[in-house]
Structure 1
Amino acid sequence: MVKISSCTSIAQDILQLLPHSAVEFPTGVSAKETCKMFFYCYHTDVLKGKSVERRFRLTSRWATGFHLQFVDAFTDTILQGQSLTTSQTIISAGANRDYSFTNPSVVLTVSTDGNLEILEGKISYKVTSISSNSNTSATLLDSGNLVLRNKKSDVLWESFDYPSDTLLPGMKLGYDKRAGKTWSLVSWKSRDDPSPGAFSIEHDANGSSQIFNLQGPKMYWTSGVWNGQIFSQVPEMRLSYMYKYNASFNENESYFTYSLRYPSILSRVVLDVSGQVRKLNWHEGTHEWDLFWLQPKTQCEVYAYCGPFGTCTRDSVEFCECLPGFEPRFPEDWNLQDRSGGCVRKADLECVNESHANGERDQFLLVSNVRLPKYPVTLQARSAMECESICLNSCSCSAYAYEGECRIWGGDLVNVEQLPDGDSKGRSFYIKLAASELNKRVSSSKWKVWLIVTLAVSLTSVFVNYGIWRRFRRKGEDLLVFDFGNSSEDTSYELGETNRLWRGEKKEVDLPRFSFASASASTNNFSIENKLGEGGFGSVYKGKSQRGYEVAVKRLSKRSKQGWEELKNEAMLIAKLQHKNLVKVLGYCIERDEKILIYEYMSNKSLDFFLFDPAKRGILNWETRVRIIEGVAQGLLYLHQYSRLRVIHRDLKASNILLDKDMNPKISDFGMARIFGGNESKATKHIVGTYGYMSPEYVLRGLFSTKSDVFSFGVLLLEILSGKKITEFYHSDSLNLLGYAWDLWKNNRGQELIDPIPNEISSRHILLRYINVALLCVQENADDRPTMSDVVSMLGRENVLLSSPNEPAFSYLRGVKPHASQERPEICSLNDVTLSSMGAR
């Protein structure tokens, strides 16, 4: 018999294995709170007419009892001797995971007619609908399977037929046509919402020996084919010293299952909310689940992540590129980092019977050191030449490879991954291209050879003129005539050895460098009429080129000690980060002691220009404010989770949210941003930021992490909802905005926080929900705050259940800033960085 700390954490998944379709629920059942079902350790089965509650018992190695506890949604285990009395909700069952019960007296029972029922007071809900004339009993087996049997021990119903997001040893994944059964997994909607989520795992209904991971109707990941021992895309299955895998594929049934070689091991496979399949084993020593393997491990393993005819490179600034001879299908989406549309041919193929006007047939180009595309067809061929001929004579063939056997690909090529040089897994294949496209590439190669010869001949002349060239380069390009239209479309700033923004780095950003004279001329010599704002690091001006392009010119102050580091940091980060909710850097200027950054121009200034001016605040209606909130959240989520460089902004505030002509938000000012890895926290002795927006662990201990940005976002969210500044005080007890919001919230007066100026409030409950999210973000303990992924989910889905927040940090401030001491980190107030919005940026 296992310890409670082990069995109960699995049992919460087991109870969700109740039926998908048999549970009946009335309308209006609450789904606002969610808790997990757990088992407690007792004895005996549940017999006909008895309830599963504290005095009735079940026998099982998983949990020798079947007791309904009411546990907070974030709790995973109940330790022996604990007593939990909080009355919260309980997950219902199976596919009806959208519903929940709030009554603490809810019990599971075997009714007098022999069926399983859920009782809520005097109301009962059917779990099973089985006709049986004999006595029935429910037993929780050592496998974790809850079984309903009749007097003859015949199985009438079992929970293993109704998986949720968890596959336990002995459960099946697939279908049985004769019995009309289908076994599939469905993820949770979020980490604390067990209702059905976006991902599901199913067996291929078309009869192939593969398991598909679907995101809605779209393929997200595939296991690869079953080779009799493992699935081809899950090589970790070869480590089978703990497990025995079995699969059956025939006309009547098709399923996969696994078992344990050592019964003492506790194991499960979980489909998590992000779509990853995780194989977990229970560790008795630490009382935690150890990750054995997960799939997909990287974005390049996600099905068609770069779309048709795209290649994925996991260690590149740009994950996706097009195969040679192809170009993005949707260039605008491609530039916005949505590469799912893939690539299309630059020149159409010609079939063998439809030759070009010049008689040229399609040809092949070698693609080397890659992971081959998915779904090849193996054909009989005695040589590479014969394999090529087969592909050439087939209009549908897109590529071929020959390594002792002939493999061809028809239609779209997906999941081509470019591997690092020297990778032993690298393979080669030949892609079919139109002759005209291949001739262009050959001509280009010839031109390169000619260019190399010409350069060699001219080398002496180059050295003679090198001094003149360097003098010219120091002046930089002319901003007044620069074509920003072409420059801004190239969102993949290259890391090169020339035109460096700064020296001493291994990899450096290649951005246009402008002359100081042209930058000055574009702003009318930095005139006061063109000034957009001023901060601690310098001033921002509106610039305009002779071509009509408008830009924002940030001139760093000569007396600013941090100006150089800020320019270096900001240019490096923004040039590598590409997202529609992040401001774009267009170039820079360094001449003598002048340091300048050139940004895209934002015609509607910054958020604080409108938000804190009673005369202008009405322009921000609730539709616009919600769009700003969601845009900022998406931008932060990209910085924290989806960009190649994981970034902590460290100075998120209203003045650093710029608005374009359509009032869409863009996060700006990355001078204090820092790159981090994973979920790490970093410490610093030099505290920079804006009081009110800085998290308590950062102000008091110099620790910053992604949760520091979450705190700042919570403050910004309260400001947007209320129209009030964080630095102002409310009422006689010196409540700041956090304390004021908390005081209203805990007294059920949250609606009083909502800004009354936009008078069209059609969805007040959504705004109250946003206040709840904001208060979760500003909790004092960083571990209690949600991640930005959770925040985006909570903002975008009304059915995601929200927990109750704890009191926020810095609720009561007396108008005195914390003083730095010798024992505390240095604190630098940057309130003066807020730009005074005199014009657009």
Structure 2
Amino acid sequence: MIPSSDNSSSWRNPEDPSFGDFSLGTERNGGSELFITRNNSKLWRSGILQGGSFASLSGHSTLVNSYNFSYVSNDDSVYVTYNVYNESVVSRLVLGNSGIMQRSVWSEANNVWVIYLSQPSDACETYAMCGPNAICNINSSPVCGCLDRFEPRDVRDWELDNFSKGCVRTRPVQCSTDQGKTGFRRYSGIRLAANPESLEIVRSGVCELVCASNCLCNAYAYGNGGGCLLFIGDMVDLVKLANGSSGGDLYVRMDSTALAAVIEGKRNVLPLILAVAIPAAVLVSCFCLCYLRRRKLKTKGYGGAYQNLLLLDLNNSRGDEKNSYNELPIFSFSSISAATNDFSVTDKLGEGGFGPVYKGQLLNGQFVAVKRLSRKSGQGLEEFRNETELIAKLQHRNLVGILGCCVEDDEKILVYEYMPNKSLDFFLFEPSKKEVLDWKRRVRIIEGIAQGLLYLHHYSRLRIVHRDLKASNILLDAEMNPKISDFGMARIFGGNEMQANTKRIVGTYGYMSPEYAMEGLFSVKSDVFAFGVLMLEIISGQKNTGFYGSAYLSLLGYAWNLWENERGLELVDHVIEFPFSTCAPMRYIQIGLLCVQESPADRPLMSDIVAMLNNEGTELAPPQHPAFTVGRTLVKASSGGEGKDGICSANGLTLSHMDAR
């Protein structure tokens, strides 16, 4: 039972069952939905209970087929109950100390709890993500969009992906009880807005009349059992549900003129299609003849006119002309060559795994970074397309922005935004430069990388595993803010896909997780492992691979040895001064060690890591022994008291397809 007057509370930490920061319960005003709150601030809601399930949970078949929820409201109390359909299955719903609700099933064979569902699961599950009068759609970019005949309340904030202020009507709706002046537009498959007013009316058509007669009613919907749900004032936390989820129909108030325009637009779709399709068929036939003659003149896989890179204006480049294939401008090779002074050595910024990177200057004095893929590199047209298409669809302040590409003749070139401070390894591993990275700056870099990975794993329109996270792929802008780069090896995951397998192991020694290097298995936890390695490198100023030949084998072994002997502060880079509490470095070291644990199941998700970094009051679990990766040999330290800093086994691990860098 989940009551409204005595909400269920999370534990303070995994070992302390006292009241934590988060609670799960119903609204005290009697609303038939669940909320996760923190200090009375709403973080997540289930949606309105309909047909024994909640909208936010209806797309998860494992939960829908396991529980039946019921809403009880009487004079004495208001609460939600649930029962398990299959009583032979041992199942539980737990609100964790980080605010994540998880549904687990007990595995008798493995003697462990197996997690089948976690909420919140993506950006749209965050309460009021898009503000009032806007719909959040995780499959759109950006995820937030205003309702029809609404516009952003603050256009500037909206363009900066700050949707909290939501949307307002483009013009007020005339308040009239005359049905000829007021209408309602239907939105299907929607998780209805929060806090509706319920009206127990079962007569068909009455809901529309009731809402139309109330000037404050902006929308209505049909509730469970035929009652009315009236939405008075702004509509908050609207979400477009995925296919298979049982969303409701929302009817939003519009004036008759606007509604007629919407209906007329839909009626005109078919005649317009026919009017365009018939002559288009003739044109396509003619175009095919022309295309066959010009085919050899086209660059393989890409078409369209080349643009002049020198004329690019970075202040107006975002959102301008896009190529229909990869949504990026295609620049001519001659203009790129001119911008880089014919790829001059003096303009060379560095050498990446797939080729050199040059600094290019535009006619207006602005700079860009030009990555020219080497013909001898392992990245072919497939990886090139992968990188261009991925980055073109990603927008986050901690991801490097791509401006265009070039595929002329055999050239494969990417044009990025210019990062004046090069990459993280340029400062981190150079004794003469690492003093620039004081503790506050290193923390900001760690948190920025974490935010970028969180976006890739959970909040972007695509779930992406980077697979090559390392210090040289973290670029630094003028303010030393980190930006994740190099998406050539990235992999897109489907909606329900949690891990994948490959025979072609790609990545960099020292950053690859053990399950990936040994078995080709990768998931978001592979990126978490690489993030943990990178985090320990940032703290220590030392490379993970800089311990080869020593007793510790790697930075992970060295860090673990210090941690086990309560000498963790010795790991911190000696150039860092400590005008602050030593608790912060120890906490960050512990988070790093949690990320590099051998078992993927033991490693936290990026959402958990961001919560750990942002909430110093949350107690952390003790880390388990990390796996030490050295080239092609992986060594797990002994669990006994002796030999913690174990030596490599003579039995090496051979990987038949290894493309590590």
**Taking structure 1 as the reference length, what is the TM-score of the superposition?**
0.63
**Distance apart, 1:784 and its partner CA:** 4.1
Amino acid at match of 1:550: F
Structure with max Cα Rg? 1
Instruction: Please name the residue that 2:509 is paired with.
Output: 691
Q: Is the 8 A contact 1:249 1:255 kept in 2?
A: no
Q: Is the 8 A contact 1:738 1:811 kept in 2?
A: no
1:713-724 superposed matches below 5 A: 713-724=531-542
Q: Is the 8 A contact 1:650 1:709 kept in 2?
A: yes
Instruction: Please name the residue that 1:184 is paired with.
Output: 7
Instruction: Please name the residue that 1:412 is paired with.
Output: 234
1:465–1:392 CA distance, 2 compared to 1 (3 A)? same
- 1:398 corresponds, among 218, 242, 260, to 218
**Distance apart, 1:596 and its partner CA:** 1.4
**Distance apart, 1:627 and its partner CA:** 0.4
**Distance apart, 1:186 and its partner CA:** 1.3
1:727 is aligned to 2:549: no
Per-residue Cα deviation, 1:623-647 (whole angstroms, up to 9, x for no partner): 1110001111222233233334322
Q: Which runs of 5+ in 2 are unaligned?
A: 634-646
Instruction: Please name the residue that 2:318 is paired with.
Output: 488
**Distance apart, 1:341 and its partner CA:** 3.7
Instruction: Please name the residue that 2:522 is paired with.
Output: 704
Q: Which runs of 5+ in 1 are unaligned?
A: 1-166, 176-182, 354-360, 502-509, 831-841
- 2:254 corresponds, among 429, 432, 442, to 432
Instruction: Please name the residue that 2:636 is paired with.
Output: none
Q: Is the 8 A contact 1:776 1:785 kept in 2?
A: yes
Number of residue-to-residue matches in the alignment? 629
Secondary structure of residue in 2 paired with 1:715: helix
In 1, distance between residues paired with 2:510 and 2:103? 43
Amino acid at match of 1:715: V
1:767 is aligned to 2:597: no
Amino acid at match of 2:234: D
Amino acid at match of 2:235: L
In 2, distance between residues paired with 1:732 and 1:211? 55
Q: Is the 8 A contact 2:510 2:630 kept in 1?
A: no
1:540 is aligned to 2:375: no
1:677-826 superposed matches below 5 A: 680-729=498-547, 733=551, 736-799=554-617, 800-806=619-625, 808-810=627-629, 824-826=655-657
1:450-489 superposed matches below 5 A: 467=290, 474-488=304-318
Per-residue Cα deviation, 1:723-773 (whole angstroms, up to 9, x for no partner): 222333489757543333334333333322222223344122211222233
- 1:558 corresponds, among 366, 375, 384, to 375
**Distance apart, 1:399 and its partner CA:** 3.2
Cα RMSD (Å) of the superposition?
Answer: 4.9
1:379-390 superposed matches below 5 A: none
Amino acid at match of 1:530: D
Q: Which has the higher contact order (CA 8 A, sep 6+)?
A: 2
Identity of aligned residues (%): 44
1:238–1:445 CA distance, 2 compared to 1 (3 A)? closer
Amino acid at match of 1:612: F
Q: Is the 8 A contact 2:421 2:475 kept in 1?
A: yes
In 2, distance between residues paired with 1:287 and 1:730? 38
Q: Is the 8 A contact 1:187 1:272 kept in 2?
A: yes
Amino acid at match of 2:231: W
In 2, distance between residues paired with 1:640 and 1:758? 32
1:230–1:249 CA distance, 2 compared to 1 (3 A)? farther
In 2, distance between residues paired with 1:427 and 1:775? 47
1:371 is aligned to 2:190: yes
Amino acid at match of 2:565: N
Instruction: Please name the residue that 2:132 is paired with.
Output: 308
In 1, distance between residues paired with 2:212 and 2:596? 63
1:18-29 superposed matches below 5 A: none
Secondary structure of residue in 1 paired with 2:234: coil
In 1, distance between residues paired with 2:397 and 2:578? 28
Per-residue Cα deviation, 1:685-741 (whole angstroms, up to 9, x for no partner): 333322222333433444433333233222222221122223334897575433333
**Distance apart, 1:607 and its partner CA:** 0.8
**Distance apart, 1:458 and its partner CA:** 9.6
1:367–1:522 CA distance, 2 compared to 1 (3 A)? farther
Instruction: Please name the residue that 1:320 is paired with.
Output: 144
**Taking structure 2 as the reference length, what is the TM-score of the superposition?**
0.77
1:217–1:428 CA distance, 2 compared to 1 (3 A)? closer
Instruction: Please name the residue that 1:609 is paired with.
Output: 426
In 2, distance between residues paired with 1:339 and 1:481? 33
1:173 is aligned to 2:6: no
Amino acid at match of 1:311: I
**Distance apart, 1:590 and its partner CA:** 1.3
Secondary structure of residue in 1 paired with 2:342: coil
**Distance apart, 1:788 and its partner CA:** 2.9
1:368–1:556 CA distance, 2 compared to 1 (3 A)? same
- 1:599 corresponds, among 416, 421, 424, to 416
Deviates more, 1:591-600 or 1:363-372: 363-372
1:690–1:258 CA distance, 2 compared to 1 (3 A)? closer
- 2:166 corresponds, among 335, 339, 342, to 342
- 1:200 corresponds, among 13, 23, 44, to 23
**Distance apart, 1:655 and its partner CA:** 0.9
Secondary structure of residue in 1 paired with 2:407: strand
1:475–1:517 CA distance, 2 compared to 1 (3 A)? farther
**Distance apart, 1:811 and its partner CA:** 7.7
**Distance apart, 1:683 and its partner CA:** 3.7
Per-residue Cα deviation, 1:349-399 (whole angstroms, up to 9, x for no partner): 45559xxxxxxx976463343337332555989996x97676566442323
Per-residue Cα deviation, 1:568-610 (whole angstroms, up to 9, x for no partner): 1212222233322111222222111111112222222111111
In 1, distance between residues paired with 2:342 and 2:62? 67
**Distance apart, 1:657 and its partner CA:** 0.5
In 1, distance between residues paired with 2:243 and 2:568? 58
Q: Is the 8 A contact 1:522 1:544 kept in 2?
A: yes
